[in-house]
Structure 1
Amino acid sequence: MQQAFLIGLLVAVPAGLLSCFLVLKGWSLMGDAVSHAVLPGIVLAYVAGLPLAAGAFVAGLGCALATGYLRQNSRVKEDTLLGVVFSGMFGLGLVLYSKVETDVHLDHILFGNMLGVSWGEIAETGGIALVTGGLLLLKWRDLLLHAFDPQQARALGLRTGLLHYGLLCVLSLVVVGALKATGIILTVAMLIAPGAIAFLLTDRFGRMMGIAVFAAVIASGAGIYLSFFLDSAPAPTIVLILSAMFGGALVRRSIPAQPAADFA
């Protein structure tokens, strides 16, 4: 349980920060695509005897780059491309997995295995969290301008191409870091829900990042704690708590603020 709490915290912080940019850029499907597309990379890395994280990173980044290339060189819209690319790569991963004899259970890849992580895996996730979280905090102003107005960012001399593909690299790394905790399928909730919750609660980006990280950390800790008493898997419980928090934020946003005189 202590290791589960620790890896949950290490995943929640960078995922909460990144979710703010994904929500503002409309990249929700991109997070879903990358998280699903890593499966063939994991299988091929296992066959080649390489670290699974390396294969997952290459596959996820390849999916993101392929989608960007196809969007620029075809008439098909980005959301359609994402649906085709990530479903195709996920299907390829399942076919490859069925042909490989391995002691790694598919459920652990799809839904995570927080209670079975080793200290080596925690160290790997911690390193990824340090790199990705540091980059996002260091470049958040440039990334924010690029998210809202890429043309102005280019006019100010920012390297928008580097920011675009750098954010894709960070997305792939965060997905790899979250694999041991929340798995392929449920990682998308950690990448989207905290930012969506914060977006409903504030109009200032600096505060949005703080709220998103806070929501991700609270949901992670509470989900792991409740899973012990509910006898459920930690990752789905975390996702349910994030969904409940989003519902609460949505309700709060829909309630109009009362004039100050009404509180007299």
Structure 2
Amino acid sequence: MFDTLLMPFIFPFMQNAFWIALIVSVPTALLSCFLVLKGWALMGDAVSHATLPGIVLAYILGLPLIIGAFAAGMVTALATGYLTENSRIKQDTVLGVVFSGMFALGIVMYVAINTNVHLDHILFGNMLGVGAQDLWTAGAISVPVAAVLILKWKDFMLHAFDPAQARVSGLPVGWLHHGLLAILSLTVVSTLSATGLILAIGLLVAPGAIAFLLVRSLKHMLIVSVVVCAVSMVSGVYLSFFIDSAPAPTIILVLTALFIVAFVRKSIQTRRASAAV
């Protein structure tokens, strides 16, 4: 019985899956808190989908895929901001148009070329096929991203809650805004080998949303989101081994279940507080 429970940790491909899960859980969890507070959940979805044409173009030009993904993500984020500021269209509408157009462009480009790279691995990740190079790449992105979010969390917090007050306080609002967009693009790139483009949005929203329902301060929200994301990713990979499922969607299902539990708990607390009054 004990040997069976430890079986997932024996295989090298499972060990790499656990490592990539732990590596990407920290930056995605920290970033998800700010995306939730700023209402940028759809922005994360847009950037993750819009990296596809950049990945295909990088493959055609023989460049590292992460460069193409980051460039496409930044172009999408900046184009969305420009269109929102210079038109009467609301941001969610612009995001819907831009990311669907970029994603469609990526599909057309992918179909037009001959490649041995399977589209499913790009869209849904290939966590069980993660190698040493993928681990180093994810680590090289995740460590500086997490460091910036931890060191500047108070500045990002003020920018998320009240950009006008942040500007009056002397904070570089423009740099914070575009810096957060760059961090978002980099974080999406770091999750490519783990969850792919489509499921990355789950990691970028769910941990912060769960923590938001559980605690009241941003400091505690950051800590709780990291713990929730790390536990969910490791347990999702572990569970996928026994139910013969892909790790990425299993992780998202675990996060979804935790969100439902947190939501029900918060609803019960609210009703009790209302009844006490």
Q: Shorter-normalised TM-score: what interval?
A: over 0.9
SS of the equivalent of 2:92 reads helix
Structure 2 equivalent of residue 117 of structure 1: 130
Q: How far apart are 1:106 and its partner, in Å?
A: 0.6
User: Which residue of the other structure, out of 82, 103, 110, is the alignment partner of 2:116?
Assistant: 103
User: Which residue of the other structure, out of 27, 39, 46, is the alignment partner of 2:40?
Assistant: 27
d(CA) in 2 for partners of 1:65, 1:151: 20
Q: In the alignment, residue 64 of structure 2 is paired with which amino acid?
A: P
The TM-score with structure 2 as length reference comes to: 0.92
Structure 1 equivalent of residue 268 of structure 2: 255
User: Which residue of the other structure, out of 168, 175, 178, is the alignment partner of 1:165?
Assistant: 178
d(CA) in 1 for partners of 2:113, 2:56: 8
SS of the equivalent of 1:255 reads helix
Structure 1 equivalent of residue 9 of structure 2: none
SS of the equivalent of 1:101 reads coil
Q: How far apart are 1:121 and its partner, in Å?
A: 1.1
Cα displacement string for residues 25-81 of structure 1 (whole angstroms, at most 9, x for unaligned residues): 000000000000000000000000000000000000110000000011111000000
Structure 2 equivalent of residue 37 of structure 1: 50
Structure 2 equivalent of residue 2 of structure 1: 15
RMSD of the alignment, in Å?
Answer: 1.1
Structure 1 residue 148 and structure 2 residue 170: aligned? no
Q: In the alignment, residue 241 of structure 1 is paired with which amino acid?
A: V
Q: How far apart are 1:102 and its partner, in Å?
A: 1.0
Q: How far apart are 1:256 and its partner, in Å?
A: 2.4
Unaligned runs of 5+ in 1: none
Structure 2 equivalent of residue 218 of structure 1: 231
Cα displacement string for residues 10-29 of structure 1 (whole angstroms, at most 9, x for unaligned residues): 11110000000000000000
Superposition pairs of residues 64-103 of structure 1, within 5 angstroms: 64-103=77-116
d(CA) in 1 for partners of 2:240, 2:117: 23
Structure 1 equivalent of residue 11 of structure 2: none
Structure 1 equivalent of residue 222 of structure 2: 209
Structure 1 residue 56 and structure 2 residue 62: aligned? no
Cα displacement string for residues 202-238 of structure 1 (whole angstroms, at most 9, x for unaligned residues): 1110000011011100110000000000101000000
Structure 1 equivalent of residue 7 of structure 2: none
d(CA) in 2 for partners of 1:184, 1:49: 20
Q: How far apart are 1:164 and its partner, in Å?
A: 0.2
Structure 2 equivalent of residue 17 of structure 1: 30
SS of the equivalent of 2:88 reads coil
Cα displacement string for residues 86-115 of structure 1 (whole angstroms, at most 9, x for unaligned residues): 000000000000011111111100000001
User: Which residue of the other structure, out of 182, 185, 192, is the alignment partner of 2:198?
Assistant: 185
Unaligned runs of 5+ in 2: 1-13
Structure 1 residue 200 and structure 2 residue 213: aligned? yes
The TM-score with structure 1 as length reference comes to: 0.97
Structure 2 equivalent of residue 126 of structure 1: 139
d(CA) in 2 for partners of 1:234, 1:102: 25
d(CA) in 1 for partners of 2:112, 2:166: 47
Q: In the alignment, residue 39 of structure 1 is paired with which amino acid?
A: L
